[in-house]
Structure 1
């Protein structure tokens, strides 16, 4: 039987989109498929740590898509124009890649333009209907019609969530309009097939999972480190950011940990602090760990997801709240343990 060639391209917005592609890549490798990744240099380095020379890598040198925290009608209009331009660029890049090599399947994680009219193209997304800022709620019908057009241009749309409402993404992935080519493929986590070990939890170990774009990760990590420096008798591990100077020698930064290292840190840390991104939430649920979720200001998706998971997680919407939580480590650790005892996917 002829080997199938598969082209995969995740959105360059932090590591989350790449991380949730890992189970899909593993599945295709087990089927004997040839995998090519088209992504930024940082994302490709992330995959190289995990797959080595078992797959092919092509660096995407186009400018990564970015978001602006400051909201105005002009910025929303500029955002829409930039998104349309990005979609055209992605479509052109995909066409060029398909001219140089024959692919049997294209998988795009949240890249709306990365598809080919003559090749089966799949879009992975958990946001079937994003949540606009409240003052722009009037734009919902426009967004809905735009996305329906995007979804219909792909052969299939794969949603990494349970079909049963509310799943893990709630109304983001469960909508009231029909998408004929929609498939729910259940949550995707790189840890889903790893056995949860019986290593004891270290009561003095705190883990910060830094996520989002590279510059954002470094700023957030430095801000959090300023809290840790004032807390005695703790060992802090910050993953996903470049090392930076700190007064506290017990703060350890690991820029590119392996999945086994991350797995060990998540399963043995007393307190886990993370953003409220969907990929992070899928990983926490796969390992049945409660954490302090810190939604990024201005990101309606993360604000919504943090509210949705309040039963299983602690939420720190403000830096001041997180500081109070960490200054009361024993109480915070106790609250997280109680949530884990009653951990439930379907609230």
Structure 2
């Protein structure tokens, strides 16, 4: 019988689930049987990508953002008891899954309670250093304490000085065995004709996803080129709406999204780390608008702007005029690095 591996991404935007897609494919190619565990949009995405795999719903962290980014840190702090209860609930669920499904190993992408002492458990994160302003030292230590429950930590980045995660993936001290697995993307670069002037990719927790959607739709009314707009709403059926020069999708599955990104001259998106990895793999020009108050996205956007790769600005200051800045930036490029999945999976 094939060894069954539980793959459990956090449901916080679509990034964690999206970067698990190449891992799930690699598990299948290496003779394992993946089982999917998550909740909400993340679970829906993976169920659509892998309809033949068994899946199970985990308790939700139920994280929402504030309308004003300045208060996000305070809201996350006040939500700490709810978060701790969710982690306890998913630990209980994980125990039941292990007992009832003959699980041989666990790959958790940022789900802090999905581990077991009975089987090898891996934690995936690009945030070994968890930015939170003046409390970064504390949030990093708390995160490290949770990761110590796992047998190994995999970082989706390269170990070289030139990398994508910057200081996020390189803390001053870190006591847990860590492997830099290389950048992950579900996409492949295709040399095709450009048919879209602009592609908008949205994702992330509410209400900030909707706030940016409304902002961009308002601005793009005056855009002369051809626009494809993907809302990032994982609904039961795909919908397509045409408003002037803008074609709006509620969501796209991987094959269509890969095709659309390759065929687009410019991408506007959040500066989530999975999006950064995807656009680097495809060598795209981009414009980043970080989620207000999310220190990690603000850091990544600022870093890539300072490296003269991708321009960025805050959500409230974005205007169509700012897209002219793109011509002065190099765009993202991928690293020549092949992930050795066979070696990584030897843990199981």
Computed over aligned residues only, the root mean square deviation of the Cα atoms, in angstroms, reads 2.6
Q: Which moved more, 1:12-21 or 1:178-187?
A: 178-187
Note if 1:190 corresponds to 2:186. yes
Cα–Cα, structure 1 residues 324 and 144, in superposed 2: closer, same or farther, change >3 Å?
A: same
2:328 alignment counterpart: 335
What is the deviation of 1:318? 4.1
Larger relative contact order (CA 8 Å, sep ≥ 6): 2
Distance 1:50 1:17 in 2: 14
Note if 1:316 corresponds to 2:309. no
Distance 1:231 1:296 in 2: 23
1:161 alignment counterpart: 157
- SS of equivalent residue, structure 1 residue 62: coil
Contact 2:70/2:292 (8 A) holds in 1? no
Unaligned runs of 5+ in 1: none
Question: Aligned ranges for residues 107-118 of structure 1 at < 5 Å?
Answer: 107-118=107-118
2:254 to 236, 250, 259: 259
Cα–Cα, structure 1 residues 275 and 235, in superposed 2: closer, same or farther, change >3 Å?
A: same
* TM-score normalized with structure 2 length: 0.85
What is the deviation of 1:99? 2.2
- SS of equivalent residue, structure 2 residue 17: helix
What is the deviation of 1:215? 5.0
Contact 1:124/1:160 (8 A) holds in 2? yes
Note if 1:297 corresponds to 2:296. no
Aligned residue pairs, count: 328
Unaligned runs of 5+ in 2: 337-348
What is the deviation of 1:199? 1.7
Distance 2:32 2:287 in 1: 39
Note if 1:229 corresponds to 2:225. no
Distance 1:247 1:31 in 2: 42
Contact 1:316/1:322 (8 A) holds in 2? no
- SS of equivalent residue, structure 1 residue 165: coil
1:205 alignment counterpart: 197
1:277 to 272, 284, 288: 272
* TM-score normalized with structure 1 length: 0.86
Cα–Cα, structure 1 residues 124 and 113, in superposed 2: closer, same or farther, change >3 Å?
A: same
